[in-house]
Amino acid sequence: MGSIIFLLVYVDDVIITGNNSPLTEQLIETLDIQFALKDLGQLRYFLGIQVRYLDSGLLINQSKYVDDLLHKLQMTDVKPMPSPSVQGRKLSKTDGQPLSEPYIYRSTIGALQ
């Protein structure tokens, strides 16, 4: 199998990794000539994903992202449920009351996507 380099770019953040360390370092040096790069060390948190390094591999999760979202929505005291809805219920757009602040609902749903 040949060398593989993964390059993840999001706005002005870049993650570079691969299975060939010398080749990866060469790419970083080449990019550093063209762009001002800053090495932040091992990846710990990126785009809502936490990374922990174990002897057996990586452990990734989004617990910090979820905690931050619950704090933003002032829902840190809410108890967990397997499903926030009644199972088997037929939903209708004419049921219930319109939300007083639909922006909060929309931004929360957007954060969960």
Token duo for residue 67: 């905690």
Q: What amino acid occupies position 28?
A: I
Q: Look at residue 85 in the predicted model and tell me its pLDDT.
A: 76
Q: Look at residue 79 in the predicted model and tell me its pLDDT.
A: 86
List the domain boundaries for the chain: 1-41, 43-81+97-113
Q: Look at residue 97 in the predicted model and tell me its pLDDT.
A: 86
Q: Is residue 72 a contact partner of residue 86, using CB atoms and an 8 Å limit? A: no
Q: Look at residue 29 in the predicted model and tell me its pLDDT.
A: 93
Q: Within 13 Å and on the Cβ side, how many CA atoms surround 90? A: 2
Rounded to 5 degrees, what are φ and ψ at 63? -65, -40
Q: Look at residue 112 in the predicted model and tell me its pLDDT.
A: 83
pLDDT (tens place) for every residue of the chain, 113 residues total: 799 999 999 998 899 999 999 999 999 999 999 988 888 888 999 888 999 999 998 899 999 999 999 999 999 998 888 877 777 888 888 888 888 888 888 988 888 87
Reduced 3-state DSSP string for 38-82: CCCCCCCEECCEEEEEECCEEEEECHHHHHHHHHHCCCCCCCCCC
Cβ neighbours of residue 52 under 8 Å, at least 6 residues apart?
58, 59, 60
Q: Is residue 34 a contact partner of residue 27, using CB atoms and an 8 Å limit? A: no
